[in-house]
Structure 1
């Protein structure tokens, strides 16, 4: 046991600054939001071809007249 104790006497935790764990730095602040007023204040021109015109659904689903059976 004496030999082992003698070997362990020389071991120490390094205390030099380059051996230390670096200090924790605070996180940077979050990015700033863009001004919302600039986005909402701009008006867009209407589309060149006009807005979407849905098809006439009444004509699309209208029942075709019944054909009389030839007898």
Structure 2
């Protein structure tokens, strides 16, 4: 009977949030510092010893074929 009485008391009171100090979120004393930016590493490269790539048939790749005329 005691369990039934306790259950009815809890139902009448409703659910509540624990308010004990043990359950509270601790207060932060000092804000953390902002994240630092990563250092950008810039390296300048010398041009290649043999020069840049120059394909010999570059003109043939971009050759435009003549358009066909439409039949009238």
Quick check: TM above 0.5?
A: no
Q: Which has the larger radius of gyration?
A: 1
Q: TM (normalized to structure 2)? A: 0.35
Q: Which has the higher contact order (CA 8 A, sep 6+)?
A: 1
